[in-house]
Amino acid sequence: MLNAPLETSPAPPQLPSWLVDFWESTLAWLVAAGNNAISVALIIAISGAIAFALRFVIRRIVHRIVDSAKSKANVQDTQALERSPLSDMRLVQRTRTLGTILQNIVNVTVGIVAVVLITNTLAPDLVGSLTLLTAAIGAGLGFGAQNIVKDVLNGLFIVAEDQIGIGDMVDMGLASGVVEYVAVRITQVRDVNGTLWYIRNGEVTRIGNMSQGWARAIVDIGVPVDADVPAVEEALLEAAQGLAKDAKWRTRIIERPEVWGLESMSGEALVIRVVMKTRANAMDDVARELRVRLKDAVQQLDLAVPSLESVVPDGIAGARRVRGANPPKTRPNAVTGVPPVARGIWRKKSPKASPEHPESPETT
């Protein structure tokens, strides 16, 4: 019996070589894309974690300094620090400003590093050609971005030198108001009308900070020309001293009030000036209350208050009044070749004068 031939199964059809190559290249691209996606995700996650950690540390340091100032002043909120020493309030303002600046620097730095790492992951060859890009950026900074560099450098100096802080009342020339935000490039100031001004730090040429140190409330009050000036000055000083001793106001007043005397006179009124040194953020409130009390003191003397425009000294007139009613004056230069001559009460006694003749003239 003859054996029947074995039947063999047909061979599977062979795929075209171009399809195999396409499939292999697709798989390789998917694997590389997956690895790049994982690497980018890890870079973003690590960058976010580092930025969050640094910002958390900055916030903790800021809160710790603020809480230390509060506990030192024995207050519960920052607004109550106006009753504490001025250095504590200034420390809080400067700390918050520096905290804002540092957080901005952290965000920008971490963002730039993350972009560079992501670019290196997605296109390694591109990073090698960044030399030309860096040179182009340097040229752009040297010519087209001078204002930005100027803004950043000036902003760093403003913060480092403690010229302004968040919450300060400032006059920056371009705008006046309360500082709400300080960055390395711009400063935000809100004026009395509620308008928020964005001021480039590079455009700031002068800053008048009305929240540092102390302020002086200056009140001019007019009395009739026939009034007894010494009696009026005594009554005004007594009223101002009563304000300084008031429990509600004494924490806002730094020094005793002064009556600078008769400031000006005309055919209708005599102007007497009263000043009071106060905390910087309490000058307006103290000045309003002082006006009310001075008005009552004048009315108790049965005197009418004439119409008057208040004059605030500035310029050279204000500079002469910085030290008070009696500012120091420089001595005139000595005239060479002329011997000094003593006159009046400054005449020295002669060493040869006898006790019987104490007023004998000085011998030369």
Structure tokens at 305: 């208050």
Domain extent listing, the chain: 21-126, 141-212, 214-320
State the Rg of the chain over Cα.
Answer: 39
Is residue 260 predicted with pLDDT exceeding 70? Answer: yes
- Per residue in 21-38, pLDDT tens? 677 777 777 777 788 788
Least confident of 7-11, 13-17, 50-54, 180-184: 7-11
In terms of Cα–Cα distance, which of 81, 99, 136 is closest to 252?
81
Residue 199: DSSP 8-state: E
Residue 2: DSSP 8-state: P
Asked whether 308 and 224 are in contact (CB, 8 A), the reply is no
Q: Is the pTM of this model over 0.85?
A: no
What percent of the chain has a predicted confidence (pLDDT) above 70? 65
Structure tokens at 88: 């504590």
Query: For the domain 214-320, what is the CATH code?
Result: 3.30.70.100
Is residue 337 predicted with pLDDT exceeding 50? Answer: no
Structure tokens at 324: 């008070």
Measure the N-to-C terminal CA separation of the chain; round to a whole number of Å.
Answer: 170
| Fold for the domain defined by 141-212 | SH3 type barrels. (2.30.30)
Say yes or no: do domains 141-212 and 214-320 share a fold.
no
Asked whether 222 and 216 are in contact (CB, 8 A), the reply is no
Is residue 155 predicted with pLDDT exceeding 90? Answer: no
- Per residue in 64-113, pLDDT tens? 877 776 676 655 555 544 444 455 666 676 677 777 778 878 888 888 88
